[in-house]
Amino acid sequence: MDYPMFRVQATKIKDKLYNAAINMRKALLDELSTWCNTTVIHIENTYDEMAVKISTAPTNERELVMLKEFIKMSKEDTTIVMTELLKTTNKHYDLLDEFSYVYKPEDIERCLDLKMKPMQIGSVIQDGSADMMAKEEEFMQRLDLEKDDFAKILVEFDDRFKQIIKFNSIDQI
């Protein structure tokens, strides 16, 4: 700007402010990208842990009950929370796209793989539920056998006790 008495040159300050703004924008986008990547890894790990736990066959009734509760919680809570978190992450990725952010190839691959996880975990939950029902039937059959064996033992004890009652002295044993 030229004024009659003096001249103000703001080119250096403008360049400095511009560079500071660009650096801030880059730092914010990098932080947002880091958050997105961390969140994607968290969602991926959560789904993987769910799949492993649901796919593990219970060995006893307690584990069966725990698995049943875990599947119920997974359906009703965890998958919904992870889906919402994924939607939020996708909105953040959209924001990064608006600024033409350059992603790392592994981040793109991880994000695309994650899009399949909800369907995969749904399939794992269905398979786990079917396996759980089969195990529950197996445990019920085993329990019925144990109940029958226990009833037989009780009848034997009852018969022995009736015989003991008939004894009048120790000599009759």
pLDDT in tens, 79-130: 889 889 999 999 999 999 998 888 888 988 998 888 888 888 888 888 888 8
The residue to which tokens 């399949």 are assigned = 116
Question: Of 66, 74, 72, which is closest to residue 49 (Cα–Cα)?
Answer: 74
pLDDT value for 87 = 92
pLDDT value for 56 = 85
Full-prediction pTM beyond 0.95? no
Question: Of 58, 75, 69, which is closest to residue 122 (Cα–Cα)?
Answer: 75
**Second CATH level (architecture) for the domain 11-158:** Up-down Bundle (1.20)
- pLDDT confidence bin for 168, thresholds 50/70/90: low
pLDDT in tens, 39-89: 999 999 999 998 898 888 888 888 888 888 888 888 888 888 988 999 999
Residue 170 has pLDDT above 80, yes or no: no
Residue 142 has pLDDT above 60, yes or no: yes
pLDDT value for 31 = 95
Helix, coil or strand: residue 1: coil
Helix, coil or strand: residue 2: strand
Q: What is the per-residue burial (b if ≥16 Cβ within 10 Å, else e) of 142-163?
A: eeeeeeeeeeeeeeeeeeeeee
Residue 172 has pLDDT above 60, yes or no: no
